[in-house]
Amino acid sequence: MSTTTSYMGLTLKNPIIVGASTYTNSAAKIKKLEQHGAAAVVLKSLYEEQILADSGKLVEQDDMYFWYPEAIDVVNGFSKEDGVNEYINLIKDAKSAVDIPVIASINCRTPKEWPAFAQKIESAGADGLELNIYISPADIDAGRSVEETYLAIVKEVRANTKLPVAVKIGYYFSDVARFVTQLSSTGIEGLVLFNRYFRPDIDIEALRLANDNIFSAPQEITLSLRWVALLADKVECDLVGATGVHDYAGVVKELLAGARAVQVVSALYKSGPQAIEKMVSGLETWMQKHNYDSIDAFRGMVAKGPENTAAFERVQFMRRTTGQYQEAPR
């Protein structure tokens, strides 16, 4: 029996990738993740702003910073302390510490200047590059649509590196299916569905914002499952299921929906890196029980067929169906 899978041209010994986070910001921590069974890691992200500040290009940016001048100081300080050279060293150190693939990550929002940096990431030895594109849906840009900016970023990065490129996106698009398929045909190798954005809450006694909603809950997996299931057959790149994968059952669900791999972060903060071992052994036990000798033997199985597709497409709860959805008690 084999739990091997492939993602963006990389062979993974199992489908569990540790997502970008503070768990992946040092070679020592990454080594530990490998020892606990991680098949690959995405490094903590470097910010586009750090790259621009480091190259003195920040001030040339358009009025993005004009209304928020403090950002320049913050980003400049940030860059000096924790800048691009450190990031390059992190890639090199991680690569010499572990045998699993190391994917670099950039948080970005514009296609300007910074994509040339992708060459340095490639030269440092990274196995791939993940772009965490984070354009707030609250941003109102008269120039171009949010979707156009995504496509422009990918085009620039693609022109600057031969590394396999993945894009991690959120779900705030007016037409998710159309945009994801369009993005998948730009020459990228992977798409991560979905990122989990910051979710501010309100403390009604202290009358202020509450920021303690940092980690996902297992129930959040359903959003990713739906879109992986609906799109896995339609996209031209590999899909990774992310957000809300907390245990082996979550891994199996994403694979049954059609994902090539999963990314996990919150599960590690909640249960430690041992969570990875449990996911791998749970997956193996489940495969044995169901007589599958490879992931390809069952990948995408529950996404197929008109009935399942219809269920994933359904948005409204139906009052009286075949009994699958019960009417709420009055």
Ligand X SMILES: Cc1cc2nc3c(=O)[nH]c(=O)nc-3n(C[C@H](O)[C@H](O)[C@H](O)COP(=O)(O)O)c2cc1C
Binding to ligand X (CB under 6 A) within 27-46 occurs at 44-45
What is the closest distance, in whole angstroms, from the C-beta atom of residue 97 to ligand X in the complex? 19
Stretch that binds ligand X, among 95-103, 151-159, 212-220, 291-299 (CB under 6 A): 212-220
195 binds ligand X (CB under 6 A): yes
What residues contact residue 123 under an 8 Å CB cut-off, 6+ apart? none
Contact 114, 140 (CB under 8 A): no
Q: How many residues bind ligand X (CB under 6 A)?
A: 23
Contact 7, 70 (CB under 8 A): no
Residue positions counted in the chain: 330
Residue 147's H or E segment, with its range, is helix 146-160
The region, left, alpha or beta by phi > 0 then psi within -120 to 50, assigned to residue 208 is beta
265 binds ligand X (CB under 6 A): yes
Q: How far apart are CA 183 and CA 136, in angstroms?
A: 18
What is the closest distance, in whole angstroms, from the C-beta atom of residue 243 to ligand X in the complex? 4
What is the closest distance, in whole angstroms, from the C-beta atom of residue 309 to ligand X in the complex? 25
105 binds ligand X (CB under 6 A): yes
What is the pattern of x (binds ligand X, CB under 6 A) and - over residues 153-182? ---------------x--------------
What is the pattern of x (binds ligand X, CB under 6 A) and - over residues 231-250? -----------xxxx-----
List the one residue out of 130, 88, 94, 108 whose CA is nearest residue 47: 108
Stretch that binds ligand X, among 68-76, 88-96, 121-129, 260-268 (CB under 6 A): 260-268
What is the closest distance, in whole angstroms, from the C-beta atom of residue 49 to ligand X in the complex? 13
264 binds ligand X (CB under 6 A): yes
List the one residue out of 78, 81, 123 whose CA is nearest residue 104: 123
List the one residue out of 224, 131, 132 whose CA is nearest residue 171: 224
In the complex, the residues that contact ligand X under the rule CB under 6 A are: 19-22, 44-45, 105, 107, 132, 168, 195-196, 214-216, 242-245, 264-267
